[in-house]
Structure 1
């Protein structure tokens, strides 16, 4: 194993230097946005290492597979999308039954492959290799063997360029006194949800309710009779039943449902104490407007708005730490499987826009930020709990919450989120020092959903 890894590393280094001998074999390259799909025609491949670069600088983008898959197709995610006429260089180390071949290929992002260059040659192997960027259909991942299209197809896009939200529905309800224990009532209001500069803005605003005031949402989208007063009102402000301290917005699209695929969201996260973004996938059988907090769902990415926040192990879980997670029910227990990644500069993720990606496969869920893998959830029980479910997209901004700031995980001073007066304490605290809300908005540039294939990483 150590020898094999050394060969791959040496091959990659030599690839950056280049060479001019010739060998032969067949690969097909399909460029799709930031993703490079590589298909090998040789069925006798035991292991493969591929790495890519744009221009002349080596990058850290790579994929390594020890055993070739049935389709012999592999995917690499680039850090940025190639521009027209960019040269994409692919380094490869391919192990067959009897040979190890190291090669590099140059491709024009909008044209044909350039002259192939051999990096090194082993055991006098001399097959005829060539490259092409002609599209090749790789069947999409599906539970059905019929009516399968090609992977990499764009099946949904929202870029907010028409200043309309025709694909989306507003959730109008309160989560203050539900099992979620959040601090927000979600409205259909231009102050809390609007399009500006071709970007979707969710903005948190503080309310001015006082003791004795009434709360009601006449356009509440919760349709059931049970718990309706909790989600919709009417009720009066009292010590034991504070009114919502914050207004915000939630949008969802229940018509766009998918099971397996890649969803990409470019967004700027909120900065501010107790703010929390929703970039989520909800099961199609579940309505967002509910009092049931522990339904399975997938969180594509989240960053707590607090610039500084620690867990009970004294690890920083504030705005410089990105999370992705899957809420699942395993037996009688509810469980959140998480992945995380600190910001490479130590700054808050809300300081800039980032690309958040989730790829759902039958056997794993992959989380990415800016093309880099945050983590992969492969736990069999977690994956199986989601097996039969299609999902729809939910976007929005909230604050607090029993799931978002779990008391078993988040180290909270005085544990104020658990008290009945938590909404009032939150409102008073933020009102006295609104400077903690440096950027009380979730801003989304675009949302895209693509079909995937089982080997996409």
Structure 2
């Protein structure tokens, strides 16, 4: 530290020493933890009026009294306002404390404008801290706590975080997409053959040199935009009916190589998918502000998906939570399968999902893709609730029999045995991660018999030529892709 900075701090401390005891303000009660192997943590509950918090004190011995406070400090410093919790925390990880020791301490808070000018001209007036010193307190060390131990600064919560812990109402994950953060997101690269919805896409990492990327950040928004695979293949004089796909470099899934043969064409669409592979949690509230894609046979993937496959991966056995879903078709013979409605909720069996999918209309004019909306899913040990723009539109209560009670008998099958000894919330009782992406087509999201723009869906969900039939209808669906991308403003997860 330079002498100039030292001098500044010295003057600053002297200003604090003066005190402002004529302020009629009662400082919130602070809590103190002695840490191991060494350290001191102080939590001051929040008060919106507090603009500055300073904590100071000394380790007392038998011959000292509180009059030494003015000329002895073993620790002092400014507390940090907690972004994710309502309060301030001061920490000193260098001070060594022992069980049985006593510290004498006090705090200083400024409310309103922390600085006032003393008498003098504008040229020579001095700034002095204005605020209130608390009465001196006594803290006796009874135990040395692990720094990760919960204290008053970290109220208990049902939320669990993989590899760590959470505090009540804490923001445990947040991204505003000012830039792409590889510490938060993994860009997936694979062909989703084992995906129960079998979308007609391959998920691919964008090349750094690709100026027409399918995943990019622009003006503080994440964009995931599906592209035609054919446009990429034709640069190599290949096509989806004769070419090959090699995604081994950067592969994140089970299948990353494919060669077109006969009716088994390559996935016609290149799309993007992100997962919070380094972050997973159990119970909490996720908020996502996004603009949904528009275009025939497009749908967003805004999900919480199992990160551990606790109950197995077959047909969503370990569960999936759809934060929001809205099919991109504008003109269909089914509102459920159009941009006019949103839905969401828990899924464990793709074939029987209608028994658990909750729909919400709301839009009397326009489409859900016209603007940004905040979609929220609250996941607790007792229920799953869905909100849009702060309005609740669905709540799933598993009841005494758990998820089994919601499924028709024909859909229970192996899940009845699988969850027999599990919690009522099973399979939604373990760590899930966030997934963001865009999918197209597939064999589950759009039922046979659906019409869009008066034309029938071009493929049969059980047909061997499903992908090829979709591709051959390009002249009908591609012109509808007026806004094919998913645009995300922010993602935030808050502990219960």
State the TM-score, normalized to the length of structure 2: 0.55
What's 2:370 paired with? 351
1:354-389 CA deviation, whole Å, 9 max, x = no partner?
100000111110100000112101133225222531
Deviations, residues 14-57 of structure 1 (Å, cap 9, x unaligned): xxxxxxxxxxxxxxxx999xxxxxxxxxxxxxxxxxxxxxxxxx
Aligned to 1:216: 246
Other-structure match for 1:73: none
Counterparts in 2 of 1:73-112, with a 5 A limit?
none
Contact 2:258 2:266 in 1 (8 A): no
For this pair of structures, how many residues does the alignment match?
A: 308
Are positions 1:386 and 2:409 aligned together?
A: no
Q: Would the aligned equivalents of 2:294 and 2:481 in 1 still touch at CA under 8 Å?
A: yes
- Residues 245 and 161 (structure 1), Cα distance of their counterparts in 2 relative to 1, 3 Å cut: same
Q: Does the 8 A contact of 1:152 with 1:451 survive in 2?
A: yes
Residue 238 of structure 1 aligns with which residue? 262
Deviation at 1:299, TM superposition (A): 0.6
Shift of 1:390: 1.3
Structure 1 counterpart of 2:189: 172
Map of 1:427 onto structure 2: 471
Q: Relative to 1, partners in 2 of residues 1:342 and 1:357: Cα closer, same or farther, differing over 3 Å? A: same
How far is 1:150 from its partner?
4.4
Distance 1:242 1:148 in 2: 46
The residue correspondences of 1:22-101 to structure 2 (distance < 5 A) are none
Please show how residues 41-440 of structure 1 align to structure 2 within 5 Å: 139-142=156-159, 150-175=167-192, 179-189=196-206, 191-208=213-230, 209-219=239-249, 221-222=251-252, 228=254, 231-239=255-263, 241-286=264-309, 295-311=318-334, 315-328=335-348, 337-380=356-399, 381-382=402-403, 384-407=425-448, 413=456, 416-418=459-461, 419-431=463-475, 434-440=478-484
1:148 shift after superposition:
7.9
Structure 2, gaps ≥5 residues long = 1-45, 49-110, 113-151, 208-212, 231-238, 404-423
SS of match in other structure, 1:426: helix
Query: Does the 8 Å contact 1:295/1:329 carry over to 2?
Result: no
Q: State how far apart, in whole Å, the 1-side matches of 2:181 and 2:155 are.
A: 34
**Is the CA contact 2:227–2:269 (under 8 Å) kept in the aligned structure 1?**
yes
SS in 2 for 1:384: coil
User: What is the alpha-carbon distance in structure 1 between the residues aligned to residue 280 and residue 308 of structure 2?
Assistant: 11
C-alpha contact 1:319 1:349 (8 A) present in aligned 2: yes
Distance 1:155 1:251, change over 3 A: same
Deviation, structure 1 residue 442: 0.3
Task: Give 1 or 2 for the bigger CA radius of gyration.
Answer: 2
Deviations 1:82-134 (A, max 9, x none): xxxxxxxxxxxxxxxxxxxxxxxxxxxx99xxxxxxxxxxxxxxxxxxxxxxx
- What is the aligned partner in structure 2 of residue 16 from structure 1? none
Q: Cα distance 1:218–1:336, how it changes in 2: closer, same or farther (>3 A)?
A: farther
Q: Flag structure 1 segments of 5+ consecutive residues without an equivalent.
A: 1-29, 33-109, 112-134, 453-457
Distance 2:47 2:193 in 1: 47
Q: Secondary structure at the match of 2:337?
A: coil
Larger proportion of strand = 1
Q: Structure 1 residues 178, 140: closer, same or farther in 2, change over 3 A?
A: closer
Deviation at 1:423, TM superposition (A): 1.8
In structure 1, the partner of 2:490 is: 446
Q: Deviations over 1:276-315 (max 9, x none)?
A: 101100112139xx8855541111101101113344xxx5
Aligned-pair distance for 1:171? 1.3
Distance 1:437 1:31, change over 3 A: farther
| Residue 424 of structure 1: how far off its partner (Å) | 2.3
RMSD of the alignment, in Å?
3.5
- CA-to-aligned-CA distance 1:190-243 (integer Å, 9 cap, x gap): 5111111111100011121243222222225346xxxx5xx222323422x111
Secondary structure of 2:280's aligned partner: strand
CA contact (8 A) 1:326 1:336 kept: no
Shift of 1:400: 1.4
- Note if contact 2:226-2:271 (Cα within 8 Å) is conserved in structure 1: yes
Shift of 1:347: 2.0
SS in 2 for 1:358: strand
Between stretches 271-280 and 185-194, larger displacement belongs to: 185-194
Cα 1:430–1:258 shift into 2, 3 Å: same
